[in-house]
């Protein structure tokens, strides 16, 4: 069986209490005693039983991460960043993938919260009121969603989306299309809004399509809708949809960047590798993940600190899928 505190205590001729302190609160113990305990612990190959520790301490040292879809390239960088950052600080991450089933999100979050000390919920698909309630029950940090009274890390698409519209305008596009993301997506509202504002300010005509699921297939479908209209430039809710547009446009024998300019959002690895390479709005997912963990751990330590808000900026990365407007 596994080595326990009792084993070390017996060997060191000390009480379990002292051994426990030597291991988890070294400053409350005589240095010499500590050394002896540590030596024996090492010799015996002691590894603390986390379950037992959890039961008495009330802490699990686990944080939960809820994501809409791990297969969506927007999330892996966030997931990796959360895991890496958590690991550095001695925490483990429990991931829940809701597979884009919005109705599963809240139940899953509620279940998992019983196992963890706090939650990071990325791009939640649930209504703000119910998310707010959840945040009452446990330390929660939302990524990419503002919930009144709750703590969140927001990626402000405004700058990047505005730059995208300005970029198209500068290339001579007068009518542009926006391909909406999922119906109840807060990110989509934010992105759409920024596009609308900038288009209006610059006097561009804006056409909208969707909502679309963030999948390549959606873009294939959307491409035909766009090509049936007047728009010469299109901004998609995300890179996946944009990649679908690219594929379909090429398939129809038209040239991306010439016949139709396409912009995505996320700046995912694929965007740099697509053909042609995809102009995209860079979204700092890694930074968001790191910040979310730091914020959450602070919240776990001090549950009564007020709601915090961190905002990260986005920025357009110009590649080959956008070019000067040409006659259709």
Partner DNA sequence: CTGAAAGCGCTTACAG
Report which DSSP code applies to 158: H
Angle, vertex CA 277, rays to CA 275 and CA 281, nearest 5: 140
**C-alpha distances in Å from residue 299, one per residue of 1, 63, 148, 151, 152:** 37, 12, 16, 9, 11
320 near DNA, judged by CB under 7 A: no
Judged by beta carbon distances under 5 to 8 A according to partner kind, the member of a second copy, DNA, none in contact with residue 1 is DNA
- Please, which residue, 163 or 215, has the CB nearer to a second copy? 215
Instruction: Choose the stretch contacting DNA; rule: CB under 7 A; options: 28-36, 76-84, 212-220, 227-235.
Output: 28-36
Total residue count of the chain as it appears in this document: 328
Q: Give CA 48 to chain center in angstroms.
A: 32
CB of 162 to DNA, least distance (A): 49
Give, as ranges, the residues between 250 and 269 that touch a second copy (CB under 8 A): 250-251, 269
Instruction: Choose the stretch contacting DNA; rule: CB under 7 A; options: 18-26, 141-149, 225-233, 286-294.
Output: 18-26
Residue from 38, 39, 45, 57 in contact with DNA (CB under 7 A)? 57
* Interface characters, 70-89, with a second copy (x: CB under 8 A): xx-x--xx-xx--xx-----
Strand 309-313 with 151-156, pairing:
parallel
Whether the link from the prior residue into 281 is cis, omega within 30° of 0, is: no
- Please, which residue, 80 or 184, has the CB nearer to a second copy? 80
Q: Starting at the earlier edge strand, list the strands of the sheet with 233-236.
A: 205-209, 175-179, 233-236, 261-266, 279-282, 315-317
Give, as ranges, the residues between 164 and 223 that touch a second copy (CB under 8 A): 215-217, 220
CB 154 within 8 A of CB 307: no
270 near a second copy, judged by CB under 8 A: yes
114 near a second copy, judged by CB under 8 A: yes
- Looking at the DSSP bridge assignments, the partners of residue 141 are 120, 151
Instruction: Choose the stretch contacting a second copy; rule: CB under 8 A; options: 5-13, 68-76, 170-178, 191-199.
Output: 68-76
Residues that bind DNA (CB under 7 A): 1-2, 4-6, 13-18, 20-21, 23-25, 27-33, 46, 48-49, 52-53, 55-57
């Amino acid at each position: 069986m596994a080595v326990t505190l009792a084993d070390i205590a017996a060997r060191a001729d000390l009480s379990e209490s002292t051994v426990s302190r030597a291991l988890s609160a070294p400053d409350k113990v005589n240095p010499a005693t500590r050394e002896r305990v540590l030596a024996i612990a090492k010799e015996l190959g002691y590894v603390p039983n986390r379950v037992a520790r959890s039961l008495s301490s009330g802490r699990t040292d686990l944080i939960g991460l809820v994501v809409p879809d791990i297969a969506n390239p927007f999330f892996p960088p966030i997931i990796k960043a959360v895991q890496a950052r958590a690991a550095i600080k001695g925490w483990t991450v429990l991931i829940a993938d809701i597979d884009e089933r919005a109705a599963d999100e809240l139940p899953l979050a509620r279940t998992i919260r019983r196992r963890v000390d706090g939650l990071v919920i990325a791009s939640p698909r649930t209504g703000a009121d119910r998310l707010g309630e959840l945040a009452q029950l446990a330390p929660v940090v939302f990524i990419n969603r503002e919930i009144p009274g709750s703590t969140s890390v927001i990626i402000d698409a405004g700058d990047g989306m505005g730059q995208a519209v300005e970029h198209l305008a500068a290339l001579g596009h007068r009518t542009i299309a926006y391909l909406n993301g999922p119906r109840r997506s807060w990110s989509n509202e934010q992105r759409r809004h920024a596009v609308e504002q900038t288009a209006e300010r610059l006097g561009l005509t804006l056409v909208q399509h969707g909502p679309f699921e963030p999948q390549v297939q959606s873009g294939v479908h959307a491409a035909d809708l766009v090509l049936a209209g007047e728009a010469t430039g299109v901004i998609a809710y995300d890179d996946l949809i944009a990649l679908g547009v690219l594929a379909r446009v090429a398939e129809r024998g038209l040239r991306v960047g010439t016949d139709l300019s396409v912009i995505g959002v996320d700046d995912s690895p694929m965007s740099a590798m697509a053909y042609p390479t995809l102009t995209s709005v860079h979204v700092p997912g890694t930074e968001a993940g790191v910040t979310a963990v730091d914020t959450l751990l602070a919240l776990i330590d001090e549950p009564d600190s007020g709601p915090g808000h961190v905002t990260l900026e986005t920025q357009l990365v110009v590649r080959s899928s956008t070019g000067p407007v040409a006659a259709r």
